Amino acid sequence: MKAEHAQSRIAALRAEIGRHDELYYRKATPEITDFEYDVRKHELAELEGKFPQFASADSPTQKVGDDRAQGFVEVAHRQKMLSLDNTYNEVEVRAFHTRLTKLLEVEDLRYTVEPKIDGLAVSLTYEDGKLVRAVTRGKGDKGDDVTANVRTIQTLPHTLTGAAPRVVEIRGEIYLTAAEFERINAERAAAGEDLYANPRNLAAGTIKQLDTSEVAKRKLAIVLYSLGYCEPEAVASQSELHDQLRAWGLPVVEKIWPVRGIDAAWAAIGELDGLRRSFAYGTDGAVVKLDAMAQQRAVGATDKAPRWAIAYKFKPDTARTRLRAITIQVGKTGILSPVAELEPVLLAGSTISRATLHNEDEIRRKDIRVGDLVEIEKAGEVIPAVLKSFPEERVAGAAEFDLFALVGGKCPVCGSGIARLEVAAEEAQGVAWKCQNYDCRAQRTGRLGFFCSRRALAIDGLGETVAAKLVELEWVKDQPDLYDVTLASLATLNLGTTEELRIFGEKNATKIVAAREAAKALPLEKWLYALSVPDVGESTARELGRRHRNFVELADSTLLKAVLQKAELLAQREFEAPASRKNPAKSDEDKARRKELCARLDAEIAALDAGVLAGAPADIGPAVAASLLDFFAGEPGRRLLAKLRALGIDPQGTVAEAGVLTGKTFVLTGTLPTLKREEGEQKILAAGGKVSGSVSKKTSFVLAGADAGSKLEKAQALGVRVIDEAEFLKLVAGQ
């Protein structure tokens, strides 16, 4: 592969993996299987190895996945909480052993082999035997404080049995049993709500709930298996640790294999594979660890993973079947997504008849055609995916897939025209076809379902089934129309067919009415995101909500107009530059004229940057600005705003008045002496400043506390001013 092609592929893989990291770690809604994800990450690592000139510290191959979420206090781990290197290959497991023998100059190494649990990683801190804190892995050095939620786990003791260290961090996984997962989904099915995809995602989403009473209703479980910081030292080996955890009364894995040598470790992996389906928690592999902790410390770790452990991941369950047809689904943004209709086949304990095909380009890349024998995969119990076809067994005349031809150039739901997007929306994963009718029934249903989702307005009880029925009956056209549907109408809603009467019921209807009333008080950023305004994700909605007082101000936004104005000025300046390639100067007089014009343009751009655009986030660019202004100027946007006015709903932005910190950007790192992180952030925002998660040359101050890490180092390297809590409080006070 040529360097320029490698650079392009590396950039594409980083963007794709970054998107899947966001879906997996932050939103608990993965779209691809672990195996598909690992294949992409392995390809990226190989390319970065072959082309080191394109390596980057920000690459997904060099970082721990970040599971932090809004609404939680960020807490530093006393000892970093890393991820694991993984492989699907016996050769690489043996290569791991070879590396360790060279590092330690010891041939006869002892290991433990343990189940790799498919849950949410968490670190528990016990002080003098008392549980004081529970923190998610976050980004490795810091995570979210979920102590209140973890305390609802009935199997977890809050006090250790017997003698305990003064301070100890104990790591493990939070999970849901299969029985509890099935119970929750059965209740949701009875209420006409969407079903959860798999236990891991539900456990991850549950632990990040802000309402502990809701967390308690879902009977989370936990299993503990490793050690972080410990003072004084309690054990000398990994195998001793499991005995000690059990002695402290903590829930542990059913079985570990203490072994000597890599041959015995490989045999133990095979034994675990035969037993793992009987465990209470989901497992997707085996973890091989050096047993002696002195040896663990000796070999150390990279920024991402310990050198003394490796995860061998079991190959996902696959099956072969025939592809009967490819049907098309339409999402809330109008993207047309192909779905595989399969001859039913038993896979991982369930009968599969449908699977995702992602998009048209993916189908063509894999050369999948109707009638083909295909291999499907169901790893981690996510939506099954079609992995590949077998062209050698293809029936004669099978045509290459053509989405446009399949639907006759029209949306299969509303019959409107479709257009190909070269730069597709987030859910399209590349190029895609999109229905051009905003009022398409499928889009209306998708938007209503999203409007009520936990990520948006959290109107519990209104899932896909109920949303589809409300749109079908024409009771809801735009999302706010939900407020016009009476309690009596909701209670008598028939979710079944004419042959099967299935009434929604007063209890479920009452829950929706109460939740929609509570949603009226949510801020502008939540409503903006919930209304599925084109090109507005959570981060963009949050920034816009901080800079606009309400929808009226946003619809005619001075900020957004300034973003477009700056883009036009920059384009004009590039065109008029004396050395412009697109418009070469014809004479010295022409160069002088252009130089004077460019100076005026530079002054206008600088005035915008210092004025209206001061502190504006980078993700509000001209494309987003144009999309927002066009939407609110168009018929759908005007209709939405008119409906909100009629309902008396006026969500407010979190605009801070100009203050002593206006125009200043802060990055917080480490543990402050008295202030909690969110208290510091609130003080900055209240004083007109901005909080960023990363250090750059544009950062005004880095507020550093104890155990500050890489952000402090980067600030020092860039010459960014570093302040402590005392200096910060003086700044806030205007001193």
Enzyme catalytic residues: 116
In whole angstroms, give the CA distance from residue 522 to residue 266: 54
CA angle 731, 694, 3 (to 5 degrees): 150
Contact indicator for 81, 225 with CB cutoff of 8 Å? no
Longest pairwise C-alpha distance within the chain: 89
Q: Which residues of 7-30 are buried (b: 16+ CB within 10 A; e: fewer)?
A: eebbeebbebbeebbbbbbbbbeb
Task: Please give the Cα distance from 688 to 582 (Å, whole number).
Answer: 42
CA separation for the pair 376, 384 (Å, rounded): 7
Q: Beta-strand (E) ranges in 50-140?
A: 74-76, 86-87, 110-117, 120-127, 130-136
The long-range contacts involving 296-303, CB below 8 angstroms and separated by at least 24 positions, are: 296/238, 298/103, 298/104, 299/100, 299/103, 299/104, 301/80, 301/82, 303/62, 303/63, 303/140
Q: How far apart are CA 261 and CA 40, in angstroms?
A: 31
Residue 4 amino acid letter: E
Task: Measure Cα distances from 92 to 63, 86, 547, 611, 626 in Å.
Answer: 21, 9, 52, 56, 50
CB-based contacts of 498, cutoff 8 Å, min separation 6? none
Distance from C-alpha of 614 to C-alpha of 607, rounded to nearest angstrom: 9
Q: Is 203 helix (H, G, I), strand (E, B) or coil?
A: helix
Cis status, amide bond into 523, omega within 30 of 0: no
Q: How many residues does the chain have?
A: 735
Q: Distance between CA 23 and CA 30 in Å, rounded?
A: 5
699 and 722 in contact (C-beta within 8 Å)? no
- The alpha carbon of 308 is separated from its chain's Cα centroid by a whole number of angstroms, namely 28
**Cα–Cα distance for residue pair 57/60, rounded to 1 Å:** 8
Q: What is the CA 710 to chain-centroid distance, rounded? A: 23
Nearest to 345 by CA among 323, 327, 370, 320: 320
Q: CA–CA separation, 159 vs 162, rounded Å? A: 9
The token duo for 381 is 């119990």
Supply the DSSP symbol for 219: -
- CA contacts within 13 A on the Cβ side of 256: 27
Q: Which helix (H) or strand (E) holds 322?
A: strand 318-330
